[in-house]
């Protein structure tokens, strides 16, 4: 009798986990779909032929002493950005990426998704391209909402990543129990001689 009560208790737990798993899946399906598709794209960004992430061009020299001063390179990048794309785009770089081995400096901006690559020696434009991978990354981590609402913080990103992380943990626990629980019940029935 105690064995039957134990089995019913385990069956109740399995049913509860099944409901949690199913209901959470329905609610979060779109978010998990977005995370999975954007994650695959981010994994492939360096192998996209420059479509998602611009390929790094080759400059003339890796000798930093032959390079123009940094402030001159930043001014050149601003001029190229405004002349080639739009004069209203922010020219304040969020990140400056120096590729010494390639003789290239990349300027990446936070207010838009363009990247300017310059030859470090001459300051000449090598390319201006969109960094689609940065946009995809913002979708992936939820900071796209902070970006468009201009929150000045990552409050939506923090909420989104916390909810998705907790949801994934919940899926893992309930999914494991949905697999393991019936095996455990079957083993207990076999041990007690019940069918």
User: Do residue 60 and residue 126 come from a single domain?
Assistant: yes
Phi, psi dihedrals of residue 107, rounded to the nearest 5°: -115, 125
Q: What is the pLDDT of residue 75?
A: 97
Q: How many residues make up the chain in this entry?
A: 195
Q: How many domains does the chain have?
A: 2
Indicate the helix (H) or strand (E) that contains 105.
strand 104-109
User: Do residue 159 and residue 187 come from a single domain?
Assistant: yes
Per-residue pLDDT tens for 120-170? 999 999 999 999 999 999 999 999 999 999 998 899 999 999 999 998 898
Q: How far is CA 38 from CA 29, 42, 54, 172, 178, in A?
A: 14, 6, 17, 21, 28
Which of 15-24, 136-145, 170-179, 183-192 bottoms out in mean pLDDT, i.e. has the lowest?
Answer: 183-192
In a domain, 9, yes or no: yes
Q: What is the pLDDT of residue 3?
A: 60
What separation, in Å, do the N-terminal and C-terminal C-alpha atoms of the chain show? 15
User: Do residue 58 and residue 119 come from a single domain?
Assistant: yes
Is residue 99 within 8 A of residue 54, CB to CB? The reply is no
Q: Report the largest interatomic distance among the alpha carbons of the chain, rounded to a whole angstrom.
A: 87
Q: What is the pLDDT of residue 193?
A: 64
- Of the candidates 25, 29, 28, 36, the residue with the CA atom closest to the CA atom of residue 136: 36
Is residue 76 within 8 A of residue 15, CB to CB? The reply is no
Per-residue pLDDT tens for 34-79? 999 999 999 999 999 999 999 999 999 999 999 999 999 999 999 9
In a domain, 126, yes or no: yes
Q: What is the pLDDT of residue 113?
A: 95
User: Do residue 126 and residue 68 come from a single domain?
Assistant: yes
User: Do residue 106 and residue 145 come from a single domain?
Assistant: no
User: Do residue 126 and residue 167 come from a single domain?
Assistant: no
CA dist., res. 1 & res. 52, Å (int)? 63
Q: Positive or negative CA dihedral for 46, 51, 54, 56?
A: positive
Domain of 24? 2-44+139-192
| pLDDT category of residue 114 using cuts at 50, 70 and 90 | very high
Indicate the helix (H) or strand (E) that contains 23.
helix 2-43
| pLDDT category of residue 194 using cuts at 50, 70 and 90 | low
Is residue 98 within 8 A of residue 116, CB to CB? The reply is no
In a domain, 49, yes or no: no
DSSP assigned state of 120: T
Last-in-domain residue among 77, 103, 130: 130
In a domain, 104, yes or no: yes
Q: What is the pLDDT of residue 128?
A: 97
User: Do residue 61 and residue 118 come from a single domain?
Assistant: yes
In a domain, 26, yes or no: yes
Last-in-domain residue among 77, 107, 130: 130
Q: What CATH number is attached to the domain comprising 79?
A: 3.10.450
Last-in-domain residue among 109, 130, 151: 130
| pLDDT category of residue 1 using cuts at 50, 70 and 90 | low
Per-residue pLDDT tens for 74-110? 999 999 999 999 999 999 999 999 999 999 999 999 8
């Amino acid at each position: 009798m105690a064995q039957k009560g134990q089995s019913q208790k385990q069956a109740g737990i399995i049913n509860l986990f099944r409901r949690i798993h199913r209901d959470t899946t329905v609610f979060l399906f779109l978010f998990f779909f977005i995370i999975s598709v954007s994650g695959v794209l981010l994994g492939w960004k360096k192998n996209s032929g420059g479509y998602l992430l611009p390929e790094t061009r080759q400059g003339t020299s890796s000798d930093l002493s032959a390079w123009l001063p940094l402030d001159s390179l930043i001014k050149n990048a601003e001029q190229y950005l405004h002349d080639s794309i739009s004069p209203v785009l922010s020219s304040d770089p969020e990140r400056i990426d120096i590729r010494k081995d390639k003789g290239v400096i990349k300027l990446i901006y936070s207010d838009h998704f363009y990247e300017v690559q310059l030859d470090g020696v001459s300051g000449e434009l090598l390319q201006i391209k969109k960094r689609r991978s940065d946009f995809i990354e913002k979708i992936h981590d939820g900071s796209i909402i902070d970006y468009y609402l201009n929150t000045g913080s990552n409050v939506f990103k923090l909420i989104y990543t916390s909810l998705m992380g907790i949801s994934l943990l919940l899926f893992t626990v309930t999914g494991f129990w949905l697999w393991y629980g019936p095996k455990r019940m079957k083993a207990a029935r076999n041990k007690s001689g019940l069918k």
